[in-house]
Amino acid sequence: AMTPEGLQQVQPPPYQTIALAGKFDVQQISGLQLATETIAVAQFDWDVSLNKIGQLVTGRNTAQGRGAVEFGKKPDGTWFVTGVSGI
């Protein structure tokens, strides 16, 4: 049985149950490149400070890695994230 605190960290479905396992932090974005006039790509370093659920699953207190992000350009000239991978 989970504690009330643990149950608060589990998101109810509509599609699947997700356990919030820690705090995700993007450390640095690098390699920003314009792929086309409306698509840009970059890489980023990340780390996670794991909570008790994350520590139980991984056996660690933290996790680090490198991911990629893709941006799209709106007609008004602003940019938005269209995809993230590597996390």
What is the spatial distance between Cα 8 and Cα 31, in angstroms, rounded to a whole number?
A: 38
How many C-beta atoms surround the C-beta of residue 58 within 10 A? 14
One-letter identity of residue 72: G
| pLDDT digit string, tens, across residues 39-50 | 999 999 999 899
pTM: 0.66
Q: Which of 27, 46, 17, 34 is nearest to 72 (CA)?
A: 34
* Each residue's pLDDT tens digit, 49-86: 999 988 998 899 998 999 999 999 999 999 999 999 98
Sign of the CA dihedral running 20, 61, 87, 72: positive
